[in-house]
Structure 1
Amino acid sequence: MNEMPNTTMRAVRYDRYGPPEVLKVAHVPMPKPGPGQVLVKVHASSVNPIEAQVRAGKMRPMSGLRPPKGIGQDFAGEVVAAGPKVDDGLVGRRVWGTTFALGAANTAEYITVKEPLVAPVPPGLELVNAAALPTVGLTALVALGAANVQRGQRLLIVGAAGGIGSALIQIAHARGVEVATVSSGDNLSFCSDLGAKETYDYASLAALEQADAFHAVVDLYGANLGTYRSRLRSGGRIVTLAAKGMGYAMLSLLLPGPRVRLARAKPRKELLVELAQLVESGDLRPVVEKVYPLEEIGEAHRSVESGHSRGKRVIQVVGDVES
Structure 2
Amino acid sequence: MTALGNDHITHIQSVAQKSRAAMNSVLDGKDHAVRTALITLFSGGHLLLEDVPGVGKTLLAKALGRVVGGSVRRVQFTPDLLPSDVVGVSIFNQETRSFEFRAGPVFANVVIADEINRASPKTQSAMLECMAENQASVDGTTYRMPQPFMVVATQNPVDMEGTYSLPEAQRDRFTARISIGYPSSAAEIDMLDHHVEYDPLAQTSAVTTLDEVTQARDLIRHVQASPELRAYVVSLLDATRNDPGIALGSSPRAGVQLLRTAKVLAVLGGRGYVTPDDVQSLAVDVLSHRIVPREGDDPQLAASLVGDVLRRVPVR
Q: Above 0.5 in TM-score? A: no
TM-score normalized by the length of structure 1 = 0.26
TM-score normalized by the length of structure 2 = 0.26
In terms of fraction of residues, the more strand-rich structure is 1
In terms of fraction of residues, the more helix-rich structure is 2
